[in-house]
Structure 1
Amino acid sequence: MKFKDFEVGMVVTHPPVVVTREDMLAFARSFDPQPFHVDEEAARESRWGGLIGSGWLTCALAMRMVCDAALKGSESFGSPGLERLRWPKPVRPGDALRLEATVDSKRVSSSRSDLGILRWTWRMFNQDDELVLELEATNMFELADEQE
């Protein structure tokens, strides 16, 4: 999508993606090797009662979904950061996660007319419609082509 295509209030969606046990373990072994992410026996004995996916895996999946659903082919060139990142429910092996990204605001920078700023809230839900991720993201878009 192009910056001009985003509208305040619109919801960008991505269909469910199933999180496999193997993907969860591989990600956790590389990036978040806490026992409840990498050791099934330790996870069973933990407060979680079984293996759960790293929140950072959930963020990575959300980023992939946002890229596929909206940012691929756009003028987006990065983000200055995220706010209010939350993981209200753990992700379990076999969960089917879907994305809803709601555009909260859209504006052209007051100091640079070639810079578009989009703020949106990303939410991921599992197959039971339980919220597993919520964050507010800001994306920057190059508007030079639109200004000509």
Structure 2
Amino acid sequence: MPYYLLTVTASRRTGLGLQVEPAVRIRALAARVKDSDVPMPGDRLLLLRPDTGTWWIAPLAGFGLEAWRKDGLVYTRSDPADPEFTLAVGGRGGPEEVLPVGTEIWLDDNAPTRGHRTDGWRRIIAGIASGDWRQTDPDAVDTTVTDR
């Protein structure tokens, strides 16, 4: 059974693909998605387009905590106690062509990776909670985006 992730309110082209808003609250998603179905790059997303009412398939390009380093500290706009992950959809085309506002994004639970490399939600949430994060608006800090 596919899992509902979000309804697109905005998207923009980045180096990873189309970065989608809003972010996804991880605790809420973990409460309704099996540990084996943690979204991984390469998984299949199902897109229900509002303009045509049809389903499209797209690859998940990225799904993770948006964070950056500055002066040895790690910053995020997300609340570390209730983290939100940003989703990026792969494929060509612009935001309005691929992900018009109102598009529903679902994780196909028959996706290729099935989250088996992640050890599940508990590890992800515990790792974020145990980190030394600073919550801030990215415009308030001169940032360099890094992977964590």
Common topology (TM > 0.5): no
Structure with the greater alpha carbon radius of gyration: 1
Higher relative contact order (CA 8 A, sep 6+): 2
Normalised TM-score (structure 2):
0.30
Normalised TM-score (structure 1):
0.30
